[in-house]
Amino acid sequence: DAKTTQPPSMDCAEGRAANLPCNHSTISGNEYVYWYRQIHSQGPQYIIHGLKNNETNEMASLIITEDRKSSTLILPHATLRDTAVYYCISSPELTFGTGTRLQVTL
Amino acid sequence: NAGVTQTPKFQVLKTGQSMTLQCAQDMNHNSMYWYRQDPGMGLRLIYYSASEGTTDKGEVPNGYNVSRLNKREFSLRLESAAPSQTSVYFCASIQGGVANYGYTFGSGTRLTVV
């Protein structure tokens, strides 16, 4: 499995865009990048995934670099409810690291 | 609501006791997984079942056994609980295949072993 690296924590002001980076330099050509988040002690929640192209859904956007060695999850207008731990993982989806703890503040 | 259901939600065991954590999904997913999450840590894979009738060890299988009872159900058993197994246990399922839409997780079982 490709290993992912994320910063341990980030802050973001409410209403601003939150940009969460992830490095996955060892990802292979057929491995997808997935993002999940975990609020408090709930089960992780799927956000978005992508292979090569940028993706957007109702929750977020995913920007993947052309060389596929890194990606950025974008929450366009962060709210207090987006405070959570965000995990970036690559398929096959077996390994979660410690993620990025995003704190959204007033 | 469709999803992954875990029972029980909370459990306290004494050291040496046994118990089975239950997990069921109603999404017709092929693959099911058991993770544990210790305080302040990420999720670690215990066991998984890629399809009905198969099970495989994950990163931290020692002290656990699993049964894929049918396509819907995947149980995790602690034969002789130890304090080191105090954790939150999450079950997850996924359809499988390359272009899937990610895991669906249950709400977790909070286990304390005293």
Q: What is the distance in angstroms between the Cα of B79 and the nearest Cα belonging to chain A?
A: 24
- Contact residues, chain B, for A37 at CB < 8 Å: none
Residues 6+ apart with CB under 8 A from A72: A19, A20, A21, A22, A62, A63
Nearest-by-CA chain B residue for A47? B102
* pLDDT tens digits, B6-50: 999 999 999 999 999 999 999 999 999 999 999 888 889 999 998
* pLDDT tens digits, A71-85: 999 999 999 999 999
The stretch B85-99 carries a mean pLDDT of 84
Across the interface, do A49 and B101 touch by the CB < 8 Å criterion? yes
CB A64 within 8 A of CB A53: yes
Residues in chain A: 106
The stretch B92-97 carries a mean pLDDT of 80
Window A:22-41, CB contacts with B under 8 Å: 30, 32, 34, 36, 41
Inter-chain CB pairs, A–B, below 8 Å:
51
CB B29 within 8 A of CB B93: yes
Is the pLDDT at A31 greater than 90? The verdict is: no
* pLDDT tens digits, B51-79: 999 999 998 999 999 999 899 999 999 99
The stretch A86-96 carries a mean pLDDT of 79
Which of A44, A91, A94 is closest, CB to CB, to B45?
A: A94
A49 vs B: CB within 8 A? yes
A45 vs B: CB within 8 A? yes
Which of A46, A51, A96 is closest, CB to CB, to B101?
A: A46
Is the pLDDT at A57 greater than 90? The verdict is: yes
Is the pLDDT at A3 greater than 90? The verdict is: no
Q: Which of A72, A76, A83 is nearest to A33 (CA)?
A: A72
Helix (H) or strand (E) holding A86: strand A84-90
Q: Give residue B89's pLDDT.
A: 98
Q: Give residue A39's pLDDT.
A: 93
**Vertex B54 angle, CA B50 and B55, to 5°:** 80
Q: Which long-range contacts (CB under 8 A, 24 or more apart) does B16-19 make?
A: B16/B80, B16/B81, B17/B80, B17/B81, B18/B77, B18/B78, B18/B79, B18/B80, B18/B81, B19/B77, B19/B78, B19/B81
Give the residue carrying structure tokens 């002001």.
A13
Give the model's confidence band at B99: pLDDT under 50 very low, under 70 low, under 90 confident, else very high. low
Give the model's confidence band at A21: pLDDT under 50 very low, under 70 low, under 90 confident, else very high. very high
Q: Give residue B78's pLDDT.
A: 97
For B98, the token pair is 């390359």
What's the Rg (C-alpha) of chain B?
Answer: 13
Is the pLDDT at A44 greater than 70? The verdict is: yes
3-state secondary structure B22-83: EEEECCCCCEEEEEEECCCCCEEEEEEECCCCCCEECCCCCCEEEEECCCCEEEEEECCCCH
Nearest-by-CA chain A residue for B41? A98
Cβ neighbour number for residue A26 with a 10 Å cutoff? 12
